[in-house]
Chains A and B, each alone.
Chain A
């Protein structure tokens, strides 16, 4: 298992909530969506890809087949699902440092929610209710959500720049436009390199060692070659 893929972390937290108060939570979500200013802090935390809160009623869990035993649940549940860049600590701490009030509002009615400040009980609450990610795929392991947004901005600006180019453009005019292009992109030109280390699991440490001495790249290349061969046979 790993909650991490490339620079992204997937977090699932599921917490019980009484059905008698679940509707209040739904109301709060509805208001938050209607008034975008309530989510301003969340949006300013640029390490977050997105965050989603869903209330699942006690009878709404999937029942796939009549042979599946029926569960008897006492509570409704709130599922929190988010993808972000950085470590678990950085994410949870950014939340509590920056928007403790918002967190408390969203989790207010959840059973035994300790409030987001002080930090240690909140850490324990999230850890205890977190469901580890069994499978997690990331198509762009080197990219953060900021990197993706920046790449799109650079692409759009470049296309626009090219469209505005003319064969008879003067050198001065070109330089001016080129400088304006760079200036407009000055917060979108960060490099995209391997991720800083957040995991100290034995598997990841060993993998990094192999990456550093070059053997991991060779293994991957060999693997790909073998797979390519297989496909070809078919």
Chain B
């Protein structure tokens, strides 16, 4: 069953992580609707400029790669203001209707991450109708000047419709100044954009591969779903795009009419502040004690080495890392991708290489949850054929990630600068995919038989001493080592805002703009 997607109908940000396609910077602008009918016209005007997922080319009849891209999405309140019929509105998922702030308990957004501490635009959202976030517009660009060009266009359009939509202020920037937009851009090294975030990790590796996406068959190993015979298959399209069959062989629940939801998806927008000073200090302190040294410890937090993203299951120590690096340096782009993504945890069931609390094992356990305790104390073994398919517990928890860092670290000895990451996650079921991973795998550990131990990097670790966070870094059960205990893990990441959005297809955008969405 192969299907070709209608790329001209799908927004470009769903298929492409723009940062990896030569657009290392972006600006996100949010609008409040003041007049419904005129706002629909505004949506129509923006839609004419929206970047689709179509493949670019220089040839005749092909669409040229744009200098800057435009994408648009809507919060539930926005769709209501655009006057979608009630029967369509009630078809959206409950968590999308409630919004991210209402889901704070589910997401673990407590303490410094709680909504009172979010950027004003997010703290005010869903409190006061005039401050509600209704429309999201993203501009991605190749160069700073081109981003300004795109922004000038957008503010021009907004001005033309100033009776209908207002740009919302309140994104915190340098020294607490408030902005009309959220800027994000790749971290630069020697004038070149990198794939690094502010803790120094290489980001954006191993996005899921699904059926119908361009070139999905080329890099399915390690990025699709793991099958019994060791082969890999792309995930079902319906895990990421509404109106397509999903892994449960059904159409994911979606609003009616089908033209409104088909080729659209849900987007989770989250602004995450990075406490760089706390991170550096903790890594230094523990790195002095950890037998493998500081860089290996940093790799244990995530499951990948910081410099090039080498996965620990392939390069568990300094020696194997050197070999990996030589191979990596010699590989072409496709080879590099394969080296970074094509692996399983089958030979690391006890977590001696990649710990159970590390980032990549928690957000995508692959087939490793098909595990039972082995007879050797401290071992876990792969319980072959226990499940219908080895990745049964992971395949329906996958998420497309589109993130770029924001701000700049000017003083690594301080946490309170303007630095972090804005991550956008795309999935067809926010509750089953994003929220589940956030709640059960990042902020909790029972599925990994780790009790309440959280994911090391992103977990909402407790600042107080009542329930201090810790993690166990497992060792080879056949060795004579002791597992390493990371104690009193501080909170490295704090939520600074976010919301759930719906990213419609081009067809749906035109229907919304014309006011003809009609489920009757």
Q: With A196-B444, A200-B106 as known contacts, state yes or no: A99 contacts B387, CB within 8 Å.
A: yes
Cβ distance A44 to chain B, nearest Cβ, rounded Å: 4
Contact A98 B393 (CB under 8 A): yes
Across-interface contacts of A178 in B (CB, < 8 A): 482
Contact A94 B480 (CB under 8 A): no
A residues 18-54 with Cβ under 8 Å of B? 40-41, 43-44, 46-47
Contact A119 B248 (CB under 8 A): yes
Q: With A41-B387, A44-B371, A196-B443 as known contacts, state yes or no: A191 contacts B449, CB within 8 Å.
A: no
> Could you mark each residue 468-482 of chain B with 1 if its beta carbon is under 8 Å from any beta carbon of chain A, else 0?
011010110101111
Picked from A89, A94, A182, the residue with its CB within 8 Å of the CB of B431 is: A89
Please, how many angstroms separate the alpha-carbon atoms of A179 and B378 in the complex? Answer: 11
Q: Which of B303-311, B450-458, B491-499 binds A?
A: B450-458
A-side interface mostly: helix
B residues 33-86 with Cβ under 8 Å of A? none
Picked from B371, B395, B469, B472, the residue with its CB within 8 Å of the CB of A97 is: B395
Please, how many angstroms separate the alpha-carbon atoms of A179 and B291 in the complex? Answer: 14
> Could you mark each residue 273-294 of chain B with 1 if its beta carbon is under 8 Å from any beta carbon of chain A, else 0?
0000000000000000000000
Across-interface contacts of B449 in A (CB, < 8 A): 46, 146, 150, 187-188, 190
Please, how many angstroms separate the alpha-carbon atoms of A111 and B377 in the complex? Answer: 46
A120 at the interface (CB under 8 A from B): yes
A117 at the interface (CB under 8 A from B): yes
B105 at the interface (CB under 8 A from A): yes
> Could you mark each residue 94-135 of chain A with 1 if its beta carbon is under 8 Å from any beta carbon of chain B, else 0?
101111110000000000000001111000000000000000
Q: Which of B146-154, B211-219, B432-440, B510-518 binds A?
A: B432-440
A59 at the interface (CB under 8 A from B): no
A205 at the interface (CB under 8 A from B): yes
> Could you mark each residue 77-107 of chain A with 1 if its beta carbon is under 8 Å from any beta carbon of chain B, else 0?
0000000011001100110111111000000
Q: With A98-B388, A179-B482, A182-B482 as known contacts, state yes or no: A85 contacts B446, CB within 8 Å.
A: yes
Please, how many angstroms separate the alpha-carbon atoms of A157 and B378 in the complex? Answer: 12
B392 at the interface (CB under 8 A from A): yes
Contact A212 B110 (CB under 8 A): yes
Contact A40 B383 (CB under 8 A): yes
Please, how many angstroms separate the alpha-carbon atoms of A176 and B485 in the complex? Answer: 17
Across-interface contacts of B387 in A (CB, < 8 A): 41, 44, 97-99
Contact A205 B105 (CB under 8 A): yes
Contact B446 A144 (CB under 8 A): yes
Picked from B247, B253, B380, B443, the residue with its CB within 8 Å of the CB of A187 is: B380
Contact B432 A93 (CB under 8 A): yes
Please, how many angstroms separate the alpha-carbon atoms of A150 and B110 in the complex? Answer: 28
A232 at the interface (CB under 8 A from B): no
A139 at the interface (CB under 8 A from B): no
Contact A192 B452 (CB under 8 A): yes
B257 at the interface (CB under 8 A from A): no
A186 at the interface (CB under 8 A from B): yes
Cβ distance A147 to chain B, nearest Cβ, rounded Å: 6
Please, how many angstroms separate the alpha-carbon atoms of A187 and B473 in the complex? Answer: 10
Name B395's closest neighbour in chain A (CB-CB): A97
Please, how many angstroms separate the alpha-carbon atoms of A196 and B431 in the complex? Answer: 15
Contact B482 A117 (CB under 8 A): no
Across-interface contacts of B481 in A (CB, < 8 A): 179, 183
Picked from A40, A147, A184, A196, the residue with its CB within 8 Å of the CB of B108 is: A196
Across-interface contacts of A200 in B (CB, < 8 A): 105-106
Across-interface contacts of B351 in A (CB, < 8 A): 186
Please, how many angstroms separate the alpha-carbon atoms of A46 and B368 in the complex? Answer: 13
Please, how many angstroms separate the alpha-carbon atoms of A21 and B445 in the complex? Answer: 42
Contact A97 B392 (CB under 8 A): yes
B372 at the interface (CB under 8 A from A): yes
Contact A192 B396 (CB under 8 A): no
B144 at the interface (CB under 8 A from A): no
Cβ distance A81 to chain B, nearest Cβ, rounded Å: 21
> Could you mark each residue 140-167 of chain B with 1 if its beta carbon is under 8 Å from any beta carbon of chain A, else 0?
0000000000000000000000000000
Contact A99 B472 (CB under 8 A): no
Across-interface contacts of A97 in B (CB, < 8 A): 247, 387-388, 392-393, 395-396
Cβ distance B437 to chain A, nearest Cβ, rounded Å: 12
Please, how many angstroms separate the alpha-carbon atoms of A90 and B436 in the complex? Answer: 8
Contact A186 B105 (CB under 8 A): no
B505 at the interface (CB under 8 A from A): no
Known: A47-B447, A99-B387, A183-B483. 13 other contacts (CB 8 A): A41-B388, A93-B432, A96-B248, A98-B387, A120-B253, A150-B449, A179-B480, A179-B482, A186-B474, A187-B450, A190-B446, A191-B467, A208-B105
Give A residues with C-beta under 8 Å from B: 7, 40-41, 43-44, 46-47, 85-86, 89-90, 93-94, 96-101, 117-120, 144, 146-147, 150, 157, 176, 178-180, 182-194, 196-197, 200, 205, 208, 212
Query: Can you offer 6 A-B residue contacts whose CB atoms are under 8 A?
Result: A90-B436, A150-B451, A180-B377, A186-B475, A196-B443, A208-B105
- The 7 lowest CB-CB distance pairs between A and B, nearest first, are A190-B451, A184-B377, A118-B250, A193-B452, A179-B482, A119-B248, A190-B450
